[in-house]
Amino acid sequence: MAQQQQQPPAAQLEAYKSFQYFLVTAVVPGSFVVHVEINRPAKLNAFLEAMWLELRALFRQLSTDPDVRAIVLSGAGDRAFTAGLDVQAASQDGALQGAEGADGARKATALRRHIYEFQECLTAVEKCEKPVICVLHGISIGLAIDLSLCADVRICARDTRFAVKEVDIGLAADIGTLARLPKAVSSFSWVKEVCMTARDFTAAEALAVGFVSQVQDTKAAALESAFRMATLIASKSPVAVQGTKELLNYGRDHSVDDSLRYTGVWNSAALQATDMKAALLSGIQKKKPRFEKL
Range 263-282, binding its own copies (CB under 8 A): 263-280
Strands in 161-163's sheet, in edge-to-edge order, are: 80-82, 139-141, 161-163
By the rule CB under 8 A, 204 interacts with its own copies: no
Q: Report the residue from 26, 80, 141, 153 that binds its own copies according to the rule CB under 8 A.
A: 153
Q: Closest distance between its own copies and the C-beta of residue 7, in Å? A: 28
d(CA 137, CA 226): 13
Closest CA to 163 of 178, 176, 189, 144: 144
By the rule CB under 8 A, 209 interacts with its own copies: yes
- Of 8-16, 23-31, 43-51, 162-170, the window that binds its own copies (rule: CB under 8 A) is 162-170
Q: Closest distance between its own copies and the C-beta of residue 225, in Å? A: 11
Give CA separation, 257 vs 62, 236, 250, 251, 262, in Å.
32, 28, 12, 10, 9
Give CA separation, 31 vs 2, 116, 122, 235, in Å.
11, 35, 26, 8
Give CA separation, 6 vs 13, 61, 140, in Å.
14, 23, 22
By the rule CB under 8 A, 94 interacts with its own copies: no
* CA 29, 32, 33, 39 torsion-angle sign: positive
Q: How many residues bind its own copies (CB under 8 A)?
A: 108
By the rule CB under 8 A, 181 interacts with its own copies: yes
By the rule CB under 8 A, 260 interacts with its own copies: yes
User: What residues from 214 to 243 belong to the interface with its own copies (CB under 8 A)?
Assistant: 229, 232-233, 236-237, 239-243
User: What residues from 111 to 140 belong to the interface with its own copies (CB under 8 A)?
Assistant: 111-113, 115-116, 119, 123, 126, 131
User: What residues from 47 to 76 belong to the interface with its own copies (CB under 8 A)?
Assistant: 64
Q: Report the residue from 17, 60, 188, 217 that binds its own copies according to the rule CB under 8 A.
A: 188
Q: Cα–chain-centroid distance for residue 239?
A: 20
Q: Closest distance between its own copies and the C-beta of residue 9, in Å? A: 28
d(CA 278, CA 281): 5
